Structure 1
């Protein structure tokens, strides 16, 4: 991506072209650099998606009997995972793909539940074409307290994605919402950090308990 920049040199304006990186490119390059110094495991269960995956510290400790690899990045949207699918998913030739994404798409206020679902289908079909026999698992979009305004769109995205995956082979939709909600349907606030968006360890413990039976 080229960006035109005007700078002043000795009192004269000079226009130059500056290279700018696509969103999250630096994080993807960091993964690639890490892979060179510390080769990733062969055929891991590959976790990817947004910061709820990236911030899942000690992922291996939650699934000690599995070979897992965390490749979550930034505040990524499904469109970003599509852009980097070859570099964060396909290149690892994973045993299974576990995805958490879509929450940030909706939270921009520019993507409906339907549009988020459509992005998911685009990603799924691409990965399935590249890795036709690899199980694909989607973790449902969580009920973050700071994003209550988008709960209806989150519900719609989850519904559509669940229905879609139910008609695909070798897939699973893991609904983590029930373990994150109170009896009145409101999020369990204690599971979240002060930003009411990212989770504390207890949130991840609940995720792991629900997710574990789906891992290959």
Structure 2
């Protein structure tokens, strides 16, 4: 009976620990384990953010003249990125950081305002600048996903605020992929998305490649 009680307490303790783990903890832990086996080289280009980067698993092949570290994780939001910056940004000493994050913020909290999204972006940049005060930081605009068409106006407004803000910040750049993902009539080009109408297929990533390639150091 005593042994059974100890086992039950251990299981309960493990459950409490897991319940208290922050979102995407396992993915970040996997990055750390990968780094412990083979740490990425310094002066690479760091891609960080949500699933549009996470699912770009062959991103290195799109930019063969650069060394890319991909640290996209889960369906992360800007607060998730803020939480994990010490784990997935600070350790790598990159020469450039490319961010895609913010789209899930709108989908998860439909009451969020474009100004609140901007405030989160400001926090991300502030944390990056604590460690890397001068390296280039490129923010990829929130993309127009067919499954989230109801929030397009909010996405446009957030993009505009972020673009205006980054113009005032040294060594930063707003990367507009939004317009290139639309048809000539202004509707979303659905042919560049997977069946979930959220994540891109290779055609979508080729659009991003053409826009990003001239900006990478």
Per the alignment, do residues 58 and 16 of structure 1 end up closer, same or farther by CA in structure 2, a change over 3 Å counting? Answer: closer
Per the alignment, do residues 39 and 16 of structure 1 end up closer, same or farther by CA in structure 2, a change over 3 Å counting? Answer: closer
Q: Which has the higher mean CA deviation after the structures are superposed, 165-174 or 103-112?
A: 103-112
Task: Name the structure where strand makes up a greater proportion of residues.
Answer: 1
Q: Which secondary structure state, in structure 1, belongs to the residue aligned with residue 66 of structure 2?
A: coil
Match of 2:45 in 1: 45
Q: Which secondary structure state, in structure 2, belongs to the residue aligned with residue 204 of structure 1?
A: helix
Alpha-carbon distance in structure 2 between the residues aligned to 1:130 and 1:38: 22
Match of 2:85 in 1: 85
Q: Which secondary structure state, in structure 2, belongs to the residue aligned with residue 19 of structure 1?
A: helix
Q: Which secondary structure state, in structure 1, belongs to the residue aligned with residue 98 of structure 2?
A: strand
**Any residues of structure 2 matched to 1:154-169 within 5 Å, and which?**
154-169=155-170
Match of 1:30 in 2: 30
Match of 2:17 among 12, 19, 28: 19
Q: How high is the TM-score relative to the length of structure 2?
A: 0.91
Q: How high is the TM-score relative to the length of structure 1?
A: 0.91
Q: Which secondary structure state, in structure 2, belongs to the residue aligned with residue 71 of structure 1?
A: strand
Q: Which secondary structure state, in structure 1, belongs to the residue aligned with residue 173 of structure 2?
A: strand
Q: Aligned-pair RMSD on alpha carbons?
A: 1.7
Shift of residue 16, structure 1, vs aligned partner? 4.5
Task: Name the structure where helix makes up a greater proportion of residues.
Answer: 2
**Any residues of structure 2 matched to 1:119-198 within 5 Å, and which?**
119-198=120-199
- In the alignment, structure 2 segments of 5+ residues that lack a partner are none
Alpha-carbon distance in structure 1 between the residues aligned to 2:33 and 2:111: 34
Number of matched pairs:
206
